[in-house]
Amino acid sequence: MDISVVVPLYNEEESLTELTVWIKKVMDENLFSYEILLIDDGSTDNSWDFIEKLQSENRNIKGIKFRRNYGKSAALYCGFDVAQGNVVITMDADLQDSPDEIPELYRMIKEDGFDLVSGWKKKRHDPVLTKNLPSKFYNWTVRRITGIKLHDMNCGLKAYRKQVIKSIEVYGEMHRYIPVLAKWAGYKKIGEKVVIHSERKYGVTKFGIERFLRGPLDLISVMFISRFVKRPMHFFGVLGILMMLLGLASTAVIAVQKINQLKHGITGNLITNNPYFYTALAAVIIGVQFFLAGFLGELISRNAVDRNKYQIDKKTF
């Protein structure tokens, strides 16, 4: 099969018919073999009824319905799990992503050799203050931290080589950082394509102000997991050493001050009255806790069933 189109959705009954007809038109015109995976993330409207109706009319349409709302990452995970196409396209169900972009995205994967191609909504039809400006700042920050030169990391319209989506695990709110997960899984040929961004035709956006809090926290999580999941002592051990050095430096200051006081005959100043004493004490305690966290992390990592699970690209015997 050439293409799997994975569409996570929540309360998008108005747009489903138009979207699937549009995708079918593009696929037929380009003679692609395809499947459309509609992942209903616990919709409270009639989205699932529409999916069942559309499937009866087009056997290339398949649906998965969650019992409740789990979030976009969960929907993508389940879609990736069952996708069979050599190239997997993800897009939102609100008609803001254009299926007309699919042929070029497919070509960039198959002919240009990209592992992942992310859409870039260069001209956005979103509110400036609540979406455009925060999005620009967010993407600038992620580029600086990860080194992945994408202008629109969170664009829902993306294309993947099949091996990529089978090699990564998307959970929580990690759908924002799939290119980061792909890079740390060893897929480094990541490109982008300027795509059309249309105004929302039906319904309302499903993402609220909480995304500004979840985004940075998830970025910290994905960077930590990507770099230190198999060697947690390298992270906690460094922090422990730094805290120990701070404690040692504070102790040295206390010792120098005490010696200087005795040299000049100054008595009565207790070490416990020195603020550096409490700095040294706190630093040592925190340093020990970091070391213990590292040891516990190593024990958990070494007993994990996938501790020696690595992404193997090719074999020859």
Cβ burial of 85 (10 Å; 0-12, 13-18, 19+) is: buried
Assign 3-state DSSP to the chain and report helix, strand, coil percentages, each to 5. 50, 10, 35
CA distance 258 to 143: 50
d(CA 240, CA 218): 24
Q: Check residue 317 and give its pLDDT.
A: 53
Tens digits of residue pLDDT in 8-42: 999 999 999 999 999 999 999 999 999 999 999 99
Q: How far is CA 222 from CA 47, 171, 186, 198, in A?
A: 32, 10, 15, 30
List, run by run, the mean pLDDT of 10-residue segments along the chain (317 residues).
Answer: 96 94 97 96 93 94 93 92 96 93 97 95 67 74 82 91 92 83 89 87 62 66 67 83 92 88 76 87 92 82 56 49
CA 203 to each of CA 11, 121, 175, 186, 284: distance values in angstroms, whole numbers, following the listed order:
8, 20, 22, 38, 56
Q: Name which of 145, 298, 283, 107 is nearest 222 in CA terms.
A: 145
> What is the pLDDT, as a whole number, of residue 310?
45
What's the pLDDT at 264?
79
Report the relative pairing of strands 87-90 and 158-161 from DSSP bridges.
antiparallel
Domains of the chain by residue range: 3-228, 232-302
Q: Which pTM does this prediction carry? A: 0.72
Beta carbons of 103 and 26 less than 8 angstroms apart? yes
Q: What is the pLDDT of residue 213?
A: 64
Q: Look up the CATH number of domain 3-228.
A: 3.90.550.10
Q: How many residues does the chain have?
A: 317
pLDDT at 46: 93
Whole-number pLDDT of residue 36: 97
